């Protein structure tokens, strides 16, 4: 955003050096990429050599057909003789003159010299030679001024332009008035009211506007002007547009660009007589529709494109570029002025698809204040009437449900604590008020131009802080109670990450989107990126398996991966239920993945009961479920080789984990170790046996691990053998053989009664 200081002074009284202004803006508002000094060089006495002149005599150069020989009164005793190459003026014209010794923009210093045999004492100037505009085809003819008057009294010969880099969350700064608001707060200056006043209407004609898509266009202000005289804009307007980086075109078009730069709301002007049916319709493009835009390109339209149409066809890409058929030209006499508001995301998609970016689309896609359209229409109306002699004869304002202003609670003491700087509450409220916020009963109502990015208390704290950054001391912040401590869930996540990494698994990040056929119940995106990324994932395993497959394809070995991320479970018309899960895929089958999950359980002190389970991606006979999730061997059709996978819910793990960790004395008495094998029915799981065994033996059963499951002779076909390695130990004494036999018998009796288990000899 290029901001000329002379324009900025319309709204705030600047009296500080430009370097100080740039430094303050860089700290509080936006990066100042450059300070551009335009126009006549600021050299001692240089401005005095630029004067208003009046041509007292002009005629053909005696030795050159294309040159004029002029005598110009510049307020001295004798006229100056000047040779000039332009012919758009004659005797009596008031012109801009640079005398010998003057240094022009660009660095050229004029001298008294001969041109084709005649002395030339200086130069009669064009607007381009003064960097006031792009025109250099003719001399700048002034409409006022007495000979000898300093030219700087009439024209902005020197201009300083700040080149600001505006971030995407601050579309309000893409306007001179928005920057003026920031300067007023930073330097505690008085901010002038927004510009513009409605002239007296010259009629009450109906302006026919129909908005078929109020979501895409929540507001459309249309104003009709008759007897418009199209021509060049006045020099002050051309000079401002040029300094701000835009090319002047004609008075009506220049007004639309001026208002956009001044207030931030783009406008568009249509040749009203070229509109079919003399009406405007805001709608989506029709199938197969085309539009020739102002750049001469024929655009193939899509049904998602928001269009400005008349009664017959589309005439403009809404918010991006107008159409060639309704362009304002020299023959235009009736103009329809559009001051609208467009929804950002849809307009951005159209702009990206067509590879068409404009100053207007750059603002719309960041989000323009929907309440600004009327203010922009008022300023545009005033300028069109003043500069073109038009009659304003019609007005309409179509609007849908405009967003409400956010209301945010605010605590000055919290702000001071967050900033690490004590700021008087009165000063805090003053800063917020100058930024446009309104205070009532501890709540702050956000202005419409900041409604998109000021929605939380911390946002308001940041607003105060950025104007107090220069006062923050260069010290470390004071540690306060509970500041910087990890929550239980954060500590749990770190322990899981550390454990899995120590077990040899590598952490990966996969997309939160999945294939459309991954889960029929998954939430589908309204406009998916592709078929592969069409729905919100409901499980982490599919993407992990795909990642493992790609590693296999490129020849990687010892693949073991894990991810901690969110899944999105549908719950009717509401927002999805977001759950954080940990999942892993590793080579080695069921034994390997069970060892990984058990290591996690030991680390977290989160015991679990294993039961037989089922999962579409896991082997039907080698799948187990626990309270936190599922684990098992991947189905052979899913991934070539022997693989295991698991997926656990972090909330369930957190609920099962012991927090804080309870430490116990180390038992110094020796343990008694035995192996026990039981013959049980086929449907009895090892986990169920282990749970009953622990309950029967009590705390003196310190360890119980399954080490073998066997089916076959001499065991009957309807039964199987499950073998455990057990460890008995007491913290009070050394257990005898009789003690161990008693504990073992408790286990044998309990399993026999519960599962019809038989102890193998």
The Cα–Cα gap between 756 and 678 comes to 10
pLDDT tens profile 348-366: 999 999 999 999 999 999 9
Dihedral angle over CA of 11, 394, 324, 261, nearest 10: 10
Residues in the chain: 761
**pLDDT(530) > 80:** no
- Mean pLDDT for the stretch of residues 587-613: 89
The Cα–Cα gap between 250 and 396 comes to 25
**pLDDT(14) > 90:** yes
The Cα–Cα gap between 427 and 97 comes to 52
**pLDDT(485) > 80:** no
> Given this model, what pLDDT does residue 516 score?
78
**pLDDT(479) > 70:** no
> Given this model, what pLDDT does residue 659 score?
56
- Mean pLDDT for the stretch of residues 555-568: 94
pLDDT tens profile 489-509: 788 889 999 999 999 999 999
Q: Look at strands 68-73 and 611-612 and give their pairing.
A: unpaired
Q: Are 669 and 731 in contact (CB under 8 A)?
A: yes
State whether residue 412 is helix, strand or coil.
helix
**Two tokens, residue 231:** 């021509």
Q: Are 383 and 258 in contact (CB under 8 A)?
A: yes
The reported pTM is 0.69
pLDDT band at 436 (very low <50, low <70, confident <90, very high): very high
Dihedral angle over CA of 710, 711, 713, 716, nearest 10: 130
- Mean pLDDT for the stretch of residues 568-583: 89
> Given this model, what pLDDT does residue 491 score?
85
Q: Which residues of 502-515 are buried (b: 16+ CB within 10 A; e: fewer)?
A: ebebeebebeebbb
Q: Is the peptide bond before 184 cis (omega within 30 degrees of 0)?
A: no
**pLDDT(661) > 80:** no
- Mean pLDDT for the stretch of residues 593-611: 88
> Given this model, what pLDDT does residue 478 score?
61
Write the DSSP assignment of 176-189 as a string of letters. Answer: HHHHHHHHHHHHT-
pLDDT band at 487 (very low <50, low <70, confident <90, very high): confident
pLDDT tens profile 127-178: 999 999 888 788 999 989 999 999 999 999 999 999 999 998 999 999 999 9
Q: Are 95 and 147 in contact (CB under 8 A)?
A: no
Backbone angles phi, psi at 463, to 5 degrees: -60, -40
Residues 6 or more apart whose CB falls under 8 angstroms from that of 158 comprise: 37, 38, 39, 40, 42, 47, 152
The Cα–Cα gap between 374 and 341 comes to 10
pLDDT tens profile 232-284: 999 999 999 999 999 999 999 999 999 999 999 999 999 999 999 999 999 99
> Given this model, what pLDDT does residue 663 score?
64
- Mean pLDDT for the stretch of residues 300-320: 95
pLDDT tens profile 108-120: 999 999 999 999 9
Q: Look at strands 560-569 and 506-507 and give their pairing.
A: parallel
DSSP 336: E
Residues 6 or more apart whose CB falls under 8 angstroms from that of 65 comprise: none
> Given this model, what pLDDT does residue 42 score?
87
**pLDDT(214) > 80:** yes
pLDDT band at 686 (very low <50, low <70, confident <90, very high): confident
> Given this model, what pLDDT does residue 687 score?
84
588 torsion bin: left (phi>0), alpha (psi -120 to 50), beta (else) = left
> SS in 3 state form for 64-77?
CCCCEEEEEECCCC
Residues 6 or more apart whose CB falls under 8 angstroms from that of 441 comprise: none
**Two tokens, residue 306:** 């928001």
Write the DSSP assignment of 357-400 as a string of letters. Answer: --HHHHHHTT---GGGHHHHHHHHHHHHHHHH--EEEEEEEEE-
Tell me the average pLDDT of the chain: 92
**Two tokens, residue 123:** 């130069």
Dihedral angle over CA of 652, 657, 660, 662, nearest 10: 160
CA distances from 411 to 144, 354, 407, 444, 467 (A): 58, 47, 13, 10, 17
């Amino acid at each position: 955003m290029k901001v000329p200081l002379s324009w900025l002074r319309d709204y705030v009284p600047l009296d500080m050096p430009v370097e100080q202004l740039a430094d303050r803006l860089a700290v509080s508002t936006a990066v100042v990429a450059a300070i551009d000094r335009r126009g006549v060089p600021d050299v001692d006495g240089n401005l005095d050599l630029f004067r208003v002149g009046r041509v007292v005599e002009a005629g053909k150069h005696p030795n050159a057909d294309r040159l004029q020989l002029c005598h110009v009164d510049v307020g001295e005793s004798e006229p100056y003789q000047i040779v000039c190459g332009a012919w758009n003026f004659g005797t009596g014209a008031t012109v801009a003159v640079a005398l010998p010794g003057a240094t022009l923009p660009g660095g050229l210093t004029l001298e008294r010299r001969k041109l084709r045999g005649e002395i030339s004492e200086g130069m009669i100037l064009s607007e381009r030679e003064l960097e006031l505009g792009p025109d250099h085809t003719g001399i700048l003819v002034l409409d006022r001024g007495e000979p000898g008057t300093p030219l700087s009294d009439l024209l902005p010969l020197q201009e300083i332009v700040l080149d600001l880099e505006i971030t995407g969350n601050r579309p309000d700064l893409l306007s001179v008035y928005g920057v003026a608001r920031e300067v007023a707060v930073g330097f505690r200056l008085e901010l002038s009211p927004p510009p513009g006043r409605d002239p007296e209407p010259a009629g009450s004609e109906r302006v026919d506007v129909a908005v078929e898509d109020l979501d895409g266009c929540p507001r459309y202000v249309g104003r009709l002007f008759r007897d418009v005289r199209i021509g060049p804009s006045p020099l002050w307007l051309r000079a401002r547009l040029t300094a701000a980086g835009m090319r002047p075109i004609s008075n009506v078009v220049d007004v639309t660009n001026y208002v956009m730069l001044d207030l931030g709301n783009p406008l568009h002007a249509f040749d009203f007589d070229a509109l079919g049916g003399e009406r405007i319709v805001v709608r989506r493009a029709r199938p197969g529709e085309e539009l020739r835009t102002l750049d001469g390109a024929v655009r193939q339209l899509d049904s998602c494109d928001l269009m400005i149409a008349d009664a017959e066809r589309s005439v403009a890409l809404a918010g991006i570029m107008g159409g060639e058929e309704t362009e304002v030209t020299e023959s235009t006499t009736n103009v329809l002025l559009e001051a609208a508001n467009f929804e950002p995301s849809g307009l951005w998609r159209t702009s990206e698809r067509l590879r068409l970016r404009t100053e207007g689309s750059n603002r719309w896609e960041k989000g323009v204040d929907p309440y600004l359209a009327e203010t922009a229409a008022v300023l545009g109306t005033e300028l069109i009437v003043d500069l073109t002699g038009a009659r304003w004869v019609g007005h309409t304002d179509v609007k849908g449900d405009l967003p409400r202003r956010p209301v945010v609670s605010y605590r000055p003491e919290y702000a001071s604590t967050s900033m690490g700087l004590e700021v008087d509450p009165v000063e805090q409220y003053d800063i917020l008020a100058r930024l446009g916020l309104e205070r009532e009963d501890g709540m702050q109502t956000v202005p419409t131009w900041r409604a998109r990015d000021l929605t939380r208390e911390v946002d308001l704290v940041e607003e105060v802080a950025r104007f107090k950054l220069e006062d923050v001391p260069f010290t470390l912040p004071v540690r306060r109670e509970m500041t910087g401590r990890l929550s239980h869930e954060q500590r749990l996540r770190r322990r899981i990450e550390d454990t899995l990494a120590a077990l040899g698994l590598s952490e990966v990040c996969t997309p939160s989107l999945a294939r459309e056929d991954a889960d029929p119940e998954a939430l589908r995106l309204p406009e998916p990126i592709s078929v592969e990324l069409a729905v919100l994932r409901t499980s982490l395993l599919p993407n992990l398996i795909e990642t493992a497959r790609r590693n296999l394809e490129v020849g990687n070995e010892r693949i073991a991966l894990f991810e901690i991320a969110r899944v999105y479970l549908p719950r009717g018309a509401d927002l999805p239920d977001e759950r954080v899960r940990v999942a892993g895929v590793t080579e080695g089958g069921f034994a390997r993945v069970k060892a990984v999950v058990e290591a996690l359980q030991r680390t977290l002190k989160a015991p679990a009961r294993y039961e037989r389970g089922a999962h579409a991606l896991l082997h039907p006979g080698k799948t187990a479920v626990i309270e936190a999730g599922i684990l098992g061997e991947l189905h052979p059709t899913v991934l070539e080789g022997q693989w295991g996978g698991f997926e656990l819910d972090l909330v369930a793990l957190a609920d099962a984990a012991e927090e804080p960790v309870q430490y116990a004395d180390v038992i110094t008495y020796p343990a008694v170790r035995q192996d026990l094998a039981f013959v049980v029915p086929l449907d009895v799981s090892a986990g169920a046996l282990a749970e009953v065994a622990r309950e029967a033996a009590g705390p003196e059963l310190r360890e119980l691990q399954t080490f073998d499951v066997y089916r076959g002779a001499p065991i009957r076909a309807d039964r199987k053998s499950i073998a455990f390695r057990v460890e008995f130990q007491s913290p009070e004494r050394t257990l005898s053989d009789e003690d161990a036999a008693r504990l073992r018998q408790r286990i044998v009796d309990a399993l026999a009664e519960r599962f019809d288990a038989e102890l193998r000899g």
